[in-house]
Amino acid sequence: MDLNYTDEQKAFRDDVRAFLEAKLPKRLSDKVAGGKRLTKADYEEWHAILNEKGWLGVTWPKEHGGTGWDAVERHIFEEETTAAHAPRIVPFGLNMLGPVLMKFGSDAQKAHYLPRILNGDDWWCQGYSEPGAGSDLASVKTTAVRDGDHYIVNGQKTWTTLGQHANMIFCLVRTSKEGKRQEGISFLLIDMDIPGVEVRPIVLLDGEAEVNEVWFNDVKVPVENLVGEENKGWTYAKYLLTHERTNIAGVGFANAGLAALKRIAGLENDGDRKLIDNPFFAAKIAQVEIDLMAMATTNLRTIAAAAAGQAPGAESSMLKVKGTLIRQEINALTRQAAGPYAMPFVSEALDEGSNEGPVGPDYAMPATQAYFNNRKLSIYGGSNEVQRQIVSKMILEL
Amino acid sequence: MDLNYTDEQKAFRDDVRAFLEAKLPKRLSDKVAGGKRLTKADYEEWHAILNEKGWLGVTWPKEHGGTGWDAVERHIFEEETTAAHAPRIVPFGLNMLGPVLMKFGSDAQKAHYLPRILNGDDWWCQGYSEPGAGSDLASVKTTAVRDGDHYIVNGQKTWTTLGQHANMIFCLVRTSKEGKRQEGISFLLIDMDIPGVEVRPIVLLDGEAEVNEVWFNDVKVPVENLVGEENKGWTYAKYLLTHERTNIAGVGFANAGLAALKRIAGLENDGDRKLIDNPFFAAKIAQVEIDLMAMATTNLRTIAAAAAGQAPGAESSMLKVKGTLIRQEINALTRQAAGPYAMPFVSEALDEGSNEGPVGPDYAMPATQAYFNNRKLSIYGGSNEVQRQIVSKMILEL
Amino acid sequence: MNFTLTEERQMLQDGLRRYLRDTVTPDLLEDATESASGHSETLWQGLAEMGVIGALFSEEDGGFGGAGFDIALTFEEMGRAGAFEPLLETGILAGGLIAALGSDEQKARIEAIIGGDILTYAHAEPGSRYDLSRVTTRAAKSGEGWTLTGLKSVVPHAPAATHAVVSARTSGAVADRDGLSLFLVPLDVTGLSARDYTVNGGGRAAELSLVDVDLPADALIGPEGGAFDAIETAHARATCAVCAEALGLMESIRALTTEYLQTRKQFGQPIGKFQALQHRMADVLIEIEQARSAVINLAGHLEADRTIRERHVSAAKNLIGRVGKLVVEESIQMHGGIGMTREYALAHLAKRLMMIDHRFGDADYHLERFIRLAAA
Amino acid sequence: MNFTLTEERQMLQDGLRRYLRDTVTPDLLEDATESASGHSETLWQGLAEMGVIGALFSEEDGGFGGAGFDIALTFEEMGRAGAFEPLLETGILAGGLIAALGSDEQKARIEAIIGGDILTYAHAEPGSRYDLSRVTTRAAKSGEGWTLTGLKSVVPHAPAATHAVVSARTSGAVADRDGLSLFLVPLDVTGLSARDYTVNGGGRAAELSLVDVDLPADALIGPEGGAFDAIETAHARATCAVCAEALGLMESIRALTTEYLQTRKQFGQPIGKFQALQHRMADVLIEIEQARSAVINLAGHLEADRTIRERHVSAAKNLIGRVGKLVVEESIQMHGGIGMTREYALAHLAKRLMMIDHRFGDADYHLERFIRLAAA
Domain CATH code at residue C346: 1.20.140.10
Yes or no: say if A394 and A313 are a contact pair by the CB < 8 Å rule: yes
Residue-wise burial string across B291-300, b where 16 or more C-beta atoms lie within 10 A, e elsewhere: bbbbbbbbbb
Angle at A116 between CA A111 and CA A117, to 5 degrees: 110
In a domain, D1, yes or no: no
Same domain? For D216 and D263 the reply is no
Which domain CATH number covers D215?
Answer: 2.40.110.10
Same domain? For B336 and B281 the reply is yes
In a domain, C1, yes or no: no
Residue D154 above 90 pLDDT? yes
- Are C130 and A340 a contacting pair at CB < 8 A? yes
- Are D294 and A294 a contacting pair at CB < 8 A? yes
- Are D343 and B202 a contacting pair at CB < 8 A? yes
Q: In chain C, what residues touch A368 (CB-CB under 8 Å)?
A: 200
CB atoms within 10 A of CB A154: 16
In a domain, A112, yes or no: no
**Long-range contacts (CB closer than 8 Å, 24 or more residues apart) made by D261-270:** D261/A396, D261/A398, D261/D334, D262/A397, D262/A398, D264/B132, D264/B134, D265/B132, D266/B133, D266/B134, D266/B135, D266/B136, D267/B136
In a domain, D368, yes or no: yes
Q: In chain B, what residues touch A279 (CB-CB under 8 Å)?
A: 279-280, 283
Percent of chain C with pLDDT strictly greater than 90: 96
Number of domains in chain A: 3
The pLDDT of residue A244: 60
Q: Look at residues C225, C252, C268 and tell me which one is the last residue of a structural domain.
A: C225
User: Could you tell me which residues come within 8 angstroms of residue B205 by beta carbon, excluding any fewer than 6 positions away?
Assistant: B372, B375, D332, D339, D340, D341, D342, D347, D350, D351
ipTM of the complex: 0.95
Same domain? For A149 and A204 the reply is yes
pLDDT digits (tens, 9 = 90+) for D62-99: 999 999 999 999 999 999 999 999 999 999 999 999 99
| pLDDT tier, D374 (very low <50, low <70, confident <90, very high otherwise) | confident
Yes or no: say if A213 and A160 are a contact pair by the CB < 8 Å rule: yes
Closest chain C residue to B3 measured between Cα atoms?
Answer: C1
Q: How close B87 comes to chain D (CA, Å)?
A: 23
Angle between helices D228-263 and D306-335 (to 10 degrees): 30
In a domain, D107, yes or no: yes
Same domain? For C26 and C70 the reply is yes
Q: How close C336 comes to chain A (CA, Å)?
A: 6
Mean per-residue pLDDT over chain C, rounded: 96
Q: Of how many residues is chain D composed?
A: 376
- Are D337 and B385 a contacting pair at CB < 8 A? no
Same domain? For D369 and D240 the reply is yes
Could you tell me the end-to-end alpha-carbon distance of chain B, in angstroms, rounded to an integer? 32
Same domain? For B194 and B260 the reply is no
In a domain, D298, yes or no: yes
In a domain, B313, yes or no: yes
Q: Look at residues C116, C134, C160 and tell me which one is the last residue of a structural domain.
A: C116
Residue C376 above 80 pLDDT? no
Same domain? For A179 and A59 the reply is no
- Are A359 and C195 a contacting pair at CB < 8 A? yes
Same domain? For C251 and C336 the reply is yes
Same domain? For D205 and D234 the reply is no
* Domain region containing B365: 249-394
Same domain? For A378 and A288 the reply is yes
Same domain? For B207 and B256 the reply is no
| pLDDT tier, B124 (very low <50, low <70, confident <90, very high otherwise) | very high
**Rounded Cα gap, residues A395 and A397, in angstroms:** 6
Angle at D226 between CA D225 and CA D228, to 5 degrees: 110
**Rounded Cα gap, residues B191 and B172, in angstroms:** 14
**Rounded Cα gap, residues B15 and D373, in angstroms:** 56
Q: Which of D275, D293, D368 sits opposite A297 (nearest CB)?
A: D293
Q: In chain A, what residues touch C339 (CB-CB under 8 Å)?
A: 205, 375, 379
Q: How close B289 comes to chain C (CA, Å)?
A: 9
In a domain, A186, yes or no: yes
In a domain, B256, yes or no: yes
- Are A375 and C368 a contacting pair at CB < 8 A? no
Yes or no: say if B385 and C279 are a contact pair by the CB < 8 Å rule: yes
Task: Calculate mean pLDDT across residues D327-333.
Answer: 98
Task: Calculate mean pLDDT across residues D337-357.
Answer: 95
Q: In chain D, what residues touch C279 (CB-CB under 8 Å)?
A: 276
Output the DSSP codes for D333-344. Answer: HHHGGGGGBTTS
**Rounded Cα gap, residues C243 and C72, in angstroms:** 8
The pLDDT of residue C96: 98
Q: In chain D, what residues touch A395 (CB-CB under 8 Å)?
A: 285
Helix, strand or coil, per DSSP, at residue A182:
helix
**Rounded Cα gap, residues D246 and A82, in angstroms:** 34
In a domain, B359, yes or no: yes
Yes or no: say if D351 and B323 are a contact pair by the CB < 8 Å rule: no
- Are C129 and A339 a contacting pair at CB < 8 A? yes
Task: Calculate mean pLDDT across residues C276-281.
Answer: 96
Return the residue in C265, C278, C342, C349 with the most chain A beta carbons within 10 A, the one to mutate for interface testing: C342
- Are A290 and D3 a contacting pair at CB < 8 A? no
Q: Catalytic residue among B130, B213, B244, B315, which?
A: B244
The pLDDT of residue B353: 82
Return the residue in C73, C240, C293, C309 with the most chain B beta carbons within 10 A, the one to mutate for interface testing: C293
Same domain? For D183 and D280 the reply is no
The residue with greater pLDDT, B179 or D289, is D289
- Are D336 and B383 a contacting pair at CB < 8 A? yes
Point out the residues of chain A with pLDDT beneath 50: none
The number of C-beta contacts closer than 8 angstroms across A and D is: 122
Same domain? For C108 and C155 the reply is no
The pLDDT of residue B355: 83
**SS3 string of D218-266?**
HHEECCCCECHHHHHHHHHHHHHHHHHHHHHHHHHHHHHHHHHHHHCEE
Q: Which of A2, A296, A398 sits opposite D2 (nearest CB)?
A: A2
Mean per-residue pLDDT over chain B, rounded: 93
Closest chain A residue to C355 measured between Cα atoms?
Answer: A343
Residue D376 above 80 pLDDT? no
| pLDDT tier, B245 (very low <50, low <70, confident <90, very high otherwise) | low
Same domain? For C220 and C242 the reply is no
Yes or no: say if B357 and D141 are a contact pair by the CB < 8 Å rule: no
**Rounded Cα gap, residues D121 and C262, in angstroms:** 61
CA C155 to chain centroid, in Å, comes to: 12
pLDDT digits (tens, 9 = 90+) for B141-168: 999 999 999 999 999 999 999 999 999 9
The pLDDT of residue C353: 98
pLDDT digits (tens, 9 = 90+) for B204-244: 988 888 999 999 999 999 999 999 999 999 999 988 877 66
| pLDDT tier, C266 (very low <50, low <70, confident <90, very high otherwise) | confident
In a domain, C191, yes or no: yes
The residue with greater pLDDT, B206 or D232, is D232
* Torsion (CA) B355, B358, B363, B364 in degrees, nearest 10: -160
Dihedral-angle region of residue C336 (phi above 0 means left; psi in -120 to 50 means alpha; beta otherwise): left
Q: How close B362 comes to chain C (CA, Å)?
A: 26
The lowest-confidence range among B111-120, C7-16, C262-271, D328-337 is C262-271
Same domain? For B229 and B268 the reply is no
Radius of gyration of chain B (CA): 22
pLDDT digits (tens, 9 = 90+) for C143-187: 999 999 999 999 999 999 999 999 999 999 999 999 999 999 999
Same domain? For A271 and A222 the reply is no
Same domain? For A377 and A258 the reply is yes
Same domain? For A209 and A285 the reply is no
Q: Which of B138, B311, B104 is closest to B227 using CA atoms?
A: B104
The pLDDT of residue A246: 63
Residue B313 above 80 pLDDT? no
Could you tell me the CA-to-CA distances from C257 to A129, C18, C52, C347 in Å, in that order?
A: 22, 21, 29, 12
Q: Is residue B44 annotated as part of the catalytic site, yes or no?
A: no
Number of domains in chain C: 3
Return the residue in C6, C258, C273, C290 with the most chain B beta carbons within 10 A, the one to mutate for interface testing: C290
Same domain? For C243 and C346 the reply is yes
Which domain CATH number covers C22?
Answer: 1.10.540.10
Which domain CATH number covers B353?
Answer: 1.20.140.10
The pLDDT of residue A346: 93
The pLDDT of residue A133: 79
Q: Look at residues A63, A89, A115 and tell me which one is the last residue of a structural domain.
A: A89
Same domain? For B378 and B256 the reply is yes
Q: In chain A, what residues touch D293 (CB-CB under 8 Å)?
A: 294-298, 301
Chain A residues whose C-beta sits inside 8 Å of any chain B C-beta: 279-280, 283
Q: Look at residues C171, C197, C225 and tell me which one is the last residue of a structural domain.
A: C225
In a domain, A2, yes or no: no
Kindly state the DSSP code that residue A2 receives in the 8-state scheme. Answer: B
Same domain? For A317 and A202 the reply is no
Q: Which of D128, D134, D200 sits opposite B368 (nearest CB)?
A: D200
**Rounded Cα gap, residues B194 and B221, in angstroms:** 8
pLDDT digits (tens, 9 = 90+) for C113-153: 999 999 999 999 999 999 999 999 999 999 999 999 999 99
Q: In chain B, what residues touch C300 (CB-CB under 8 Å)?
A: 1-3
The pLDDT of residue B342: 97
- Are D154 and B340 a contacting pair at CB < 8 A? yes
Q: In chain B, what residues touch A283 (CB-CB under 8 Å)?
A: 279-280, 283
Same domain? For D237 and D370 the reply is yes
- Are B202 and D200 a contacting pair at CB < 8 A? no
Yes or no: say if C98 and C165 are a contact pair by the CB < 8 Å rule: yes
In a domain, C2, yes or no: no
- Are B321 and C273 a contacting pair at CB < 8 A? no
Q: In chain B, what residues touch C4 (CB-CB under 8 Å)?
A: 1
Same domain? For C264 and C312 the reply is yes
Q: Catalytic residue among A80, A244, A268, A315, which?
A: A244
Same domain? For C207 and C261 the reply is no
Closest chain A residue to D269 measured between Cα atoms?
Answer: A398
Angle at A232 between CA A230 and CA A234, to 5 degrees: 135
* Domain region containing D135: 120-225
Q: Which of A1, A291, A318 sits opposite D2 (nearest CB)?
A: A1
Provide the whole-model pTM: 0.95
Angle between helices A279-307 and B279-307 (to 10 degrees): 100
